[in-house]
Amino acid sequence: MKEYLSTGLALLAIILLLPFLLTFLISGENACPLYKPPDLEKYLPAVVYLQIPHTHHLENIKAQTILARTNIQAQLENKSSLSAILKKPLAYLAHEQEILRFLRTYKRYIQAARATRGQILTYQGKKVPLPYCYVTTGGTRDGTALLHSEGYSYLVSVDTPQDRQAENLLSSFYYPGIDHYQNIEILSRDENGYVLTLRAGDQLMSGEGFRRMMDLPSSAFTLQQIGGQTRILCQGQGHGLGFSQYGGNVLASQGKKYDEILRSYFPKLTLN
């Protein structure tokens, strides 16, 4: 009880000091003479809250917490400041409705941060960026093949058959006319069905580039002509790299602990 009271008071202090924090993040430390460097562990629950739903199993939230901590520490090693990293999430939480939602669910994120305090994933002793998505097509993607660099060889393709059972796995988008269908040719896909390259008119594009341009949930898509319309049918949500939050949640519901979940998605990495 004392721990939660302390945590609640700390969160209340964060809320009350939010204008001060935002002033510092926007204007720099010269605007705040009493500035002290922010503590990552204190703000980590708020960061993870914005990354994964509170309805997920606690073990899955723990896994996401370790990804968040690792990613932030990797950014810090690349000369980013913690204040700059926290700027966006703190600004988002400055909205009244969002902070109230966070306060209703923060205990789960606090538990996850405390249970995994200081733990990170490393590859050959180094901190590396760890991507995540909501749900894949049934397998995560190979980092080297997608990003065309051996520097991402730690992101290997793993099977996540549980993802195929997700209620929101498929989504459809309709566009009037058949121009889209006639002008787009899919040239290559990876082993999990994600489009690697396509031709749109006379322009060559990556599947991820097309996804961003069309604001699609995934680059695992097909195009069909239906009547006078073009339908784009997508599978999955997100880029498909790294950690599948949906798949991890299924594993957690089956009794897997956070370290087992992470080992399933990142078999080449070490939990420290």
pLDDT 10s digits, 200-214: 888 999 999 999 999
User: What residues pair up with 24 in beta bridges, in sequence order?
Assistant: none
Residue 9 domain flag: yes
Domain of residue 123: give its range. Answer: 2-132+243-271
Within 10 Å of residue 245's Cβ, how many Cβ atoms? 23
Residue 155 domain flag: no
Indicate if 126 and 256 belong to the same structural domain. yes
Spatial CA neighbour of 145 closest among 135, 130, 155, 136: 155
DSSP the chain: -HHHHHHHHHHHHHHHTHHHHHHHHHH-GGG-TT--PPPHHHHHHHHHHTTS-TTS-HHHHHHHHHHHHHHHHHHHHTT--HHHHHHHHHHHHTSHHHHHHHHHHHHHHHHHHHHTTT--EEBTTB-----EESB-SSBPPPHHHHHT-GGGTT----B-GGGGG-TTSEEEEEEESSHHHHHEEEEEE-TTS-EEEEEETTEEEEHHHHHHHHT-S-SEEEEEEETTEEEEEEESBS---SEEHHHHHHHHHTT--HHHHHHHH-TT-EE-
Indicate if 71 and 196 belong to the same structural domain. no
Residue 38 domain flag: yes
Indicate if 60 and 184 belong to the same structural domain. no
Residue 24 domain flag: yes
Within 10 Å of residue 52's Cβ, how many Cβ atoms? 24
- Tell me the HSE value of 244 on the side-chain side, using a 13 A CA sphere: 29
> According to the model, what pLDDT value does residue 102 have?
87
Q: Supply the angle between the helices 58-77 and 96-115 in degrees, to the nearest 10.
A: 90
Residue 55 domain flag: yes
Indicate if 50 and 128 belong to the same structural domain. yes
> According to the model, what pLDDT value does residue 37 have?
60
Indicate if 258 and 217 belong to the same structural domain. no
Residue 160 domain flag: no
Indicate if 112 and 212 belong to the same structural domain. no
Residue 211 domain flag: yes
Indicate if 253 and 210 belong to the same structural domain. no
Structural domains of the chain, count: 2
Which segments in the chain show pLDDT lower than 50? 5, 9, 13, 16-17, 19-29, 31, 33-34
Cα separation, 239 vs 235, in Å, equals: 11
**Reported pTM:** 0.85
Cα separation, 272 vs 256, in Å, equals: 18
Indicate if 126 and 210 belong to the same structural domain. no
127: left (phi over 0), alpha (psi -120 to 50) or beta: beta
Residue 261 domain flag: yes
1 contact partners, CB below 8 Å, separation of at least 6? none
Indicate if 121 and 214 belong to the same structural domain. no
Alpha-carbon torsion (23, 27, 28, 32), positive or negative: negative
Indicate if 96 and 191 belong to the same structural domain. no
177 contact partners, CB below 8 Å, separation of at least 6? 228, 229, 230
> According to the model, what pLDDT value does residue 80 have?
85
Indicate if 111 and 179 belong to the same structural domain. no
* Residue showing tokens 């950014």: 75
Indicate if 84 and 188 belong to the same structural domain. no
